[in-house]
Amino acid sequence: MPPHTTPHRPLAWLFVAVLALTLSAAARAEKADKDKPMNVEADALRYEDTRQTSVFTGNVVLTKGTIVMRGAKMDVRQDPQGSQFGLLVGTPEKPGFFRQKREGLDEWIEGEGDRIEYDSKAETVLFTGRAVLRRYRGTQLNDESVGSQILYNSLTEVFTVKGGDASRTAANPTGRVRAMLTPIPDAPAANAPAPVPTDPAKLRPSGKITEPRK
């Protein structure tokens, strides 16, 4: 993909937010995704050579390994080192969408936001405005976090959620961070001995009514 000169917005402000939630993940995203080619489909493409930008509009669908991104418009650039960057935007009716498989597990990360910034170099995804991040085990929803901004870092296995006005809804009028976390079930101990089945007690007839006293 051709590079563009649009500066990448700094993300450090996420870590000094008054309302922030940091949760450690159990496994990384697919490691091979970083080196996979980026493929984009859309209704239209505008390429600007002077700015080295590719702007896709209309039913945009991006795939990169297990990564899938969908939205109304997407700006794409690539630096001289081959790292790829994408800025996806949704619509008031339908926010942008992101999905990626987690390494070695039947688990998926899904997210939504008015804006989604993907950085293959830092291996981060930034969701802004109506931000939601979900973790699925197979097809079952396991965790969900809601806020105004969410930074997901698959390299450090951490995501950070910030509350604010952008996350205010009828169900959440305060705009505070909300999270639903499902505990991981305990795995059976690997070295635990299997229980030995026992036969039920058997009644044995006796030929004597009473035993003589000694």
Q: Which residues pair with 152 in a beta bridge?
A: 125, 159
Lowest mean pLDDT among 18-27, 52-61, 143-152, 186-195: 18-27
**To the nearest whole percent, how much of the chain has pLDDT over 90?**
42
Fold of 12-181: lipopolysaccharide transport protein A fold (2.60.450)
pLDDT at 43 over 70: yes
pLDDT tens digits, residue range 147-176? 999 999 988 778 899 986 665 665 566 667
Beta bridge mates, 40: 62
**Per-residue confidence (pLDDT) for residue 36, from 0 to 100:** 87
Q: What is the pLDDT of residue 131?
A: 94
**Backbone conformation region of residue 142, classed left if phi is above 0, alpha if psi is from -120 to 50, else beta:** alpha
101's tokens: 């498989």
Q: What is the pTM of this model?
A: 0.68
11 vs 175, residue with greater confidence: 175
Q: What is the dihedral of CA 90, 118, 181, 21, to 10 degrees?
A: -100
For residue 121, how many other CB atoms are within 10 A of its CB? 14
- pLDDT for 188: 54
pLDDT in tens, 173-202: 666 777 776 776 665 555 556 565 555 555
The pLDDT of 54-73, averaged and rounded, is 96
pLDDT given at position 100: 93
pLDDT at 132: 94
Rounded average pLDDT over 87-111: 92
> pLDDT over 70 for what percent of the chain?
64
Cα separation, 41 vs 201, whole angstroms: 71
Nearest to 131 by CA among 121, 142, 117: 117
Average pLDDT over residues 106-119: 94
The ranges assigned to domains in the chain are: 12-181
